[in-house]
Amino acid sequence: MITTKNVPNNTITRDLSDFAAPTGNIYETVSIISKRANQLSLAEKKELSKKLEEFKDSRENSMEEEFENHEQIEISKYYESLPKTTLVAIAEFQNGELEYRMAEEEL
């Protein structure tokens, strides 16, 4: 599960020089954040699919189906309320929680 502590739910104007400082290059920073956001997004999608998979197996009567639909809706609403994975990745980068390494240049 994605930790969302201290992550805003909306976008914030940020100073690009603050982003470029750790790597020395804004493009490397954006690449690092983008890769982490993709990792988070895939993990979130896998987790959601796993939870919704439980509903595919059991469908017996209409009363039970209505209850399951309600549960599915609640699960979907929860995931929709989470901050975007890009915002989580940015927060992790700014808080120094991301580990990254640059590829070695071949001479």
Structure tokens at 59: 């469908």
How many domains are there within the chain?
1
Predicted TM-score of the model (pTM): 0.74
Inside any domain, residue 7: no
Residue 24 forms part of a structural domain: yes
As a whole number of angstroms, the distance between CA 29 and CA 83 comes to 20
Tell whether 64 is covered by a domain: yes
Helices 85-94 and 26-57: crossing angle, nearest 10°?
130
- Domain encompassing residue 76: 16-94
Residue 21 structure tokens: 């400082």
One-letter amino acid for residue 82 of the chain: L
pLDDT digit string, tens, across residues 38-96: 999 999 999 988 887 877 665 555 555 555 678 888 888 888 888 889 999 999 998 88
